[in-house]
Amino acid sequence: MWDLLGALPDPRDPDACTYTMAQLLGLVVLLFCCRASSRRQWDRMTDDGMLRDNWCTWTGARTDTAALYGTVRHVLTQVEPQALRGLQVQIVRGLLRRKQLPGAHLLGRLLVAGDGTGIYARTGRDGPHCPHCLEQHHENGAVTYMHQMLDARVVSSYGMAIPLMSEPIENPPGQQY
């Protein structure tokens, strides 16, 4: 996994970096698994010595600090989304190859579930925040602008749901939600 994450293009000046791209993405995965629900909680969790030590062990980092939310956000906003395409599938493939998902099989087959989910919604008359927003018109005249995704996840008997692929749900050209 680390070779995949390390191979991603890094838009930063290498001489000015404290953390590698693989270390930053490893921290994102770790804090996702720990369910960091806000920026403030992220920063509190990265200040915890045990989490920092586990992150250093897991990623091979040699540091006394872990990246704050603002640092990771700044780096990830510079990465082209196309560079991350297919990364989920490659990581799951590696986990399966190393037999690290033993509870993810049913009758000898990989168990994959699909689910549609909303990732953004705002009701108001201000208009959509982007041209890709889905629109839902209500009887009272209000409009809900939203984004929804269709996710395929590897699910396991021990409660893990690992994202495999995601696809945005969009309106066909000229049609509404």
Confidence (pTM): 0.65
Under the banding of pLDDT at 50, 70 and 90, the label for residue 31 is: confident
- Rounded percentage of the chain residues whose pLDDT exceeds 90: 10
What pLDDT, in 10s, does the model give residues 117-168? Answer: 888 888 876 778 887 888 888 898 888 888 999 999 999 888 888 888 888 8
Under the banding of pLDDT at 50, 70 and 90, the label for residue 17 is: confident
Which residue in 162, 163, 8, 171 sits closest to 83, CA to CA? 8
User: What distance in Å separates the CA atoms of residue 158 and residue 140, rounded to the nearest whole number?
Assistant: 45
User: What distance in Å separates the CA atoms of residue 147 and residue 137, rounded to the nearest whole number?
Assistant: 14
Contact 140, 103 (CB under 8 A): no
pLDDT at 24: 87
Mean predicted lDDT score pLDDT of the chain = 85
User: What distance in Å separates the CA atoms of residue 120 and residue 147, rounded to the nearest whole number?
Assistant: 5
Residue positions counted in the chain: 177
User: What distance in Å separates the CA atoms of residue 24 and residue 175, rounded to the nearest whole number?
Assistant: 40
Under the banding of pLDDT at 50, 70 and 90, the label for residue 114 is: very high
